[in-house]
Structure 1
Amino acid sequence: MSSSSIWFQKGIGPGTIITLDQPVPSHWQIMKKLNEYNYQLDDDDLRFVPYRGTEMDDADTRASQAMTLIPQELIAYQDLTKKESSNTPKLLGYSISAQDTSGPVPGGFAVWLVWEMVPGLRLGSKNGPDAFWALDADEREEIRIAFVDALQKMKGIGCLSDTAALTSLVWHRESRTLYFIGFRDRNAGKFDKLRVDARWVARYGLAIPNSNAWRKEGWNGDTSDWKW
């Protein structure tokens, strides 16, 4: 279950140097805290925290909870990078280590990962107007064409972004490249039957249908009244 608890406010903040050892040793400085997610007793844990109600127990009790769990996010970036995906951020480094005696769960695992910040314009916003619809019609159409090509490549790789939305897309105008971002849940599988058509364009918010007919079986494929 998720919680609003803030676990890593001490010792980890802007200016902190993080040392990673995979695939080669590297050092990274935290510049800014963007957000924090806390999933206690959940498979999405990035750093293990105590069971609810045991936060104040002695270190030995909390240490007994220690376990190793590789986040799906790390597996996703490893796979995408190994398969040389050109439409997703590259994994730059990671480290899997044990928490020391001062950690929330002494001896528990801690996973650090760093991935590339892809260049370009994020096409959607969670807090305001979507940048995509502020672009001119010609560029929007160019993005849709790039989207279809990129989604076909992602289909072949076997991994899609967690969310089908404009917020999961970044457009780099100079290189005419569309990137997918957001792989926390590792939406992986065989997508052989996935047909990249107007439905997927609508799912990602690159077109606005005039009704919900496109979501139903037997849809006739008419997009003439959609907003493009």
Structure 2
Amino acid sequence: MDSSIKYLTDLEGTQVKFDAVAEPPFNFPAQTSIILEKLGEDSNRLTKEDIAAELGPSDTAGKFLCQPASEEDHNRRAFLRIYQQLPIAGTETKKAAIRASQAVDSPPDNLELNAFRVFTKLDCDVVPRLLGYQQRQQDHDEGVPGGHITYILWEKIPGDSLDLTEFWRLPFADRQAIRNKFRQVYTKFMLCGYMLCMGGPSKIIYEKPSGQMHICGFKRAFPFDEPQTWGDTHYYQYGLIQRSKFPFYLEEKPPNKADWIEDVNGWIW
């Protein structure tokens, strides 16, 4: 299993066309997005032995910053994720017929798309809006002819990922205001029945001027097995409180701890 090779390269400036989706409650118009910048890629390049062990298929997932191709929406930004089946390691230069024989009959269940579809059905307003999606088969001149490609497009909401070091430098009252907002937002998020595989401050998008907050990062989002209730451990999972015995590392200059408060349960607020 090799994740060092990148496959979704040199796509800046290319257009991705989405067909209209009219399957209530999903109603997305046909649209075209232009890729502006690649933000990252995670590849899962598997060997024949991996495939035999049912670890496959090989695939990759890349995230991109986009803008609409239409001039009236030219200043808007969105994020695009591309999931694409890859050839088995060592077969990348084999004939197209050999690579085509590796195509799966149907695309694997896509966790991110499943989550976004649920959020849309439930009209969840504390996550970015799904703007469109597309699933197709690869062409003859692509890596795995007949293999799957899935495109997911969602809005880029105002704000940035919460900076944990900056957060812990704020006065106690300001930290509490952010925690209170997070509890409000995350409680609504839990009602959708989903959890993130890896929580953390990067999943909290916070716009300072307005105080608006959203939860993001659904590449590995899973439905709950049973309903969840709020607990202070959710603050901890996202870095908003610390354990007194095991404080986490804060980058750069340590903040002033004068107004840090430890409660009877050993949480630092």
- In the alignment, the residues of structure 2 paired with residue 142 and residue 104 of structure 1 have an alpha-carbon distance, to the nearest angstrom, of 50
Cα displacement string for residues 139-170 of structure 1 (whole angstroms, at most 9, x for unaligned residues): 22111111112221122110123322111111
Kept after mapping to 2: 8 A contact 1:44/1:185:
no
Residue 184 of structure 2, aligned match among 130, 149, 167: 149
What residue is the counterpart of 2:240 in the other structure? 206
How far apart in 2 are the matches of 1:37 and 1:163?
Answer: 16
What does 1:3-18 align with in structure 2 at a 5 Å threshold?
Answer: 3-10=3-10, 12=11, 14-18=12-16
Percent sequence identity over aligned pairs? 28
In the superposition, relative to structure 1, how do residues 164 and 8 fare at CA in structure 2: closer, same or farther (>3 Å)?
A: closer
The equivalent position to 2:207 in structure 1, one of 172, 178, 194, is: 172
Contiguous gaps of at least 5 residues in structure 2: 22-27, 46-55, 61-82, 247-262
Q: How does 1:189-200 map to 2 (within 5 A)?
A: 189-192=224-227, 194-200=228-234
Match for residue 38 of structure 2? 33
| Equivalences for residues 67-146 of structure 1 within 5 A | 67=104, 68-69=106-107, 70-124=109-163, 130-146=165-181
Amino acid at match of 2:121: K
Deviations 1:39-88 (A, max 9, x none): 23358751000112221211011101112224211111111122111111
Paired with 2:185 and 2:238, the residues of 1 have a C-alpha distance of 13
Map 1:21-60 to 2 at 5 A. Answer: 21=19, 22=21, 23-40=28-45, 41=56, 45=60, 46-60=83-97
Aligned to 1:20: 18
Query: 1:86/1:104 Cα in 2 relative to 1: closer, same or farther (>3 Å)?
Result: same
Amino acid at match of 1:74: L
Provide the C-alpha distance between the structure 1 equivalents of 2:198 and 2:166, rounded to a whole number of angstroms: 17
User: Is residue 100–residue 106 contact of structure 1 (8 Å, CA) maintained in 2?
Assistant: yes
* Structure 1 CA distance for aligned equivalents of residues 13 and 166 of structure 2: 31
Q: Which TM-score applies when normalising by structure 2? A: 0.72
CA offset at residue 176 of structure 1? 2.9
Counterpart secondary structure, 1:33: strand
Q: Secondary structure at the match of 1:31?
A: strand
Structure 1 Cα separation of the partners of residues 209 and 18 of structure 2: 32
SS in 1 for 2:243: coil
* 1:222 alignment counterpart: 264
How many Å separate the matches in 1 of 2:137 and 2:8?
15
Which one-letter code corresponds to 1:30 in the other structure? I
- Structure with more contact order per residue of length (Cα contacts < 8 Å, sep ≥ 6): 1
Conserved? CA contact 1:155–1:191, under 8 Å = no
Aligned-partner SS, 2:132: strand
Paired residue type of 2:5: S
User: Matched residue of 1:112: which SS?
Assistant: strand
Is the 2:87–2:99 Cα contact (8 Å) retained in structure 1? yes
Q: In the superposition, relative to structure 1, how do residues 43 and 199 fare at CA in structure 2: closer, same or farther (>3 Å)?
A: farther
Q: Following TM superposition, by how much is the alpha carbon of 1:190 offset from its aligned partner in structure 2, in angstroms?
A: 4.2
Give, in angstroms, the shift of residue 2 of structure 1. 4.5
Does residue 158 (structure 1) correspond to residue 197 (structure 2)? The answer is no
Helix, strand or coil at the partner of 1:145: helix
TM-score under structure 1 length normalisation = 0.84
Q: 1:122 to 1:159 in 2, by over 3 A?
A: same
Larger displacement relative to structure 2 (71-80 or 41-50)? 41-50
Measure the CA separation in 1 of the matches of 2:141 and 2:172. 55
Report the Cα offset of residue 191 of structure 1: 4.4
Which one has the bigger strand percentage? 2
Aligned residues: 212
CA RMSD of aligned residues (A): 2.2
